[in-house]
């Protein structure tokens, strides 16, 4: 039996494949939300697999299709292999974003020194993680993905305070990121042969994966690893010194 959502999927996927823009992405997300909330048949699940794949949720597409795939069927077996391959490389990390939800401003998380939890020393460095999530670039980052390393000769208390100041600053770093990107990233337009222009939507669709703060010989350097919607299969590394962007690269 065909899914009652199939006609919508065909309509929206055709429009999306012809023109990937805000409206066609929003239409696919509206269908995604509808399918996720519905009491689904197998046919509905297979439509959802297709929607996941189009939006770039490769891990979700693979796991759902795996539930229904007939491994004795050559077509299913081949598709499962392709989905598994994409899932292993991309997971759901580079999915297209629903900008309507991402523009909601998250509440700032204030930190104090006791929010840094000491870990087992790494080589000659003291290592810390945060005991609670923090908001970076309007994205919620789990505390375990924010790490601070301080060498033995640097002042621990001084740099814990400086880390708090920096992380507070990155709560909203929109103007700085957009300005730096548009002024300094044009070389990547030539490398990847595409136009790369950052705007407000670019900022709100950034994914923040991890923050690494390194203190060595009384100098603090920060690297923030992100994903963006301009080069979706690449990590965007943002290097920061003295609370200013020093370098961006894919």
Instruction: State the residue for tokens 């996720």.
Output: 36
pLDDT of the residue at 215: 97
Q: Helix (H, G, I), strand (E, B), or coil: what is residue 247?
A: strand
pLDDT of the residue at 123: 76
Q: What is the pLDDT of residues 38-57, one digit of tens each?
A: 999 999 999 999 999 999 99
Which of the four pLDDT bands, split at 50, 70 and 90, describes residue 236?
very high
CB 213 within 8 A of CB 220: yes
CA gap 188, 156 in Å, rounded: 38
Average pLDDT of the residues of the chain: 95
Q: What is the pLDDT of residues 130-178, one digit of tens each?
A: 999 999 999 999 999 999 999 999 999 999 999 999 999 999 999 999 9
CA gap 156, 151 in Å, rounded: 8
Question: For the chain, what percent of residues have pLDDT higher than 70?
Answer: 100
pLDDT of the residue at 120: 86
Q: Inform me whether the pLDDT recorded for 122 exceeds 90.
A: no
**Cα within 13 Å of Cα(47), Cβ side:** 27
Please state the domain extents for the chain.
Answer: 6-95, 100-249
CA gap 200, 132 in Å, rounded: 28
Which of the four pLDDT bands, split at 50, 70 and 90, describes residue 192?
confident
């Amino acid at each position: 039996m065909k899914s009652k959502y199939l006609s919508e999927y065909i309509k929206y996927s055709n429009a999306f494949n012809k023109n990937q823009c805000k409206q066609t992405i929003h239409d696919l997300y509206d269908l995604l939300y509808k399918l996720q909330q519905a009491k689904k048949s197998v046919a509905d699940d297979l439509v959802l697999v297709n929607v996941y794949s189009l939006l770039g949720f490769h891990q979700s597409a693979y796991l759902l299709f795996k539930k229904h795939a007939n491994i004795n069927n050559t077509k299913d077996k081949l598709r499962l292999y392709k989905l598994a391959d994409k899932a292993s490389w991309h997971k759901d990390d580079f999915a297209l974003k629903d900008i309507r939800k991402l523009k909601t401003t998250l509440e700032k998380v204030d930190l104090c020194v006791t929010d840094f939890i000491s870990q087992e020393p790494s080589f000659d460095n003291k290592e810390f993680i945060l005991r609670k999530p923090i908001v970076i670039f309007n994205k919620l980052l789990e505390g375990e993905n924010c790490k601070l390393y301080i060498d033995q000769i640097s002042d621990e208390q001084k740099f814990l305070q400086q880390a708090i100041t920096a992380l507070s600053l990155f709560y909203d770093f929109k103007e700085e990121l957009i300005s730096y990107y548009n002024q300094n990233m044009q070389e990547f337009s030539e490398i990847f042969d595409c136009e790369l222009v950052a705007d407000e939507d670019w900022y709100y669709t950034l994914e923040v994966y991890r923050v690494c703060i390194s203190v060595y010989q009384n100098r603090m350097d920060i690297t923030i690893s992100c994903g963006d919607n301009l080069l979706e299969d690449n990590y965007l590394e943002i290097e920061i010194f003295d609370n200013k962007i020093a370098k961006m690269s894919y």
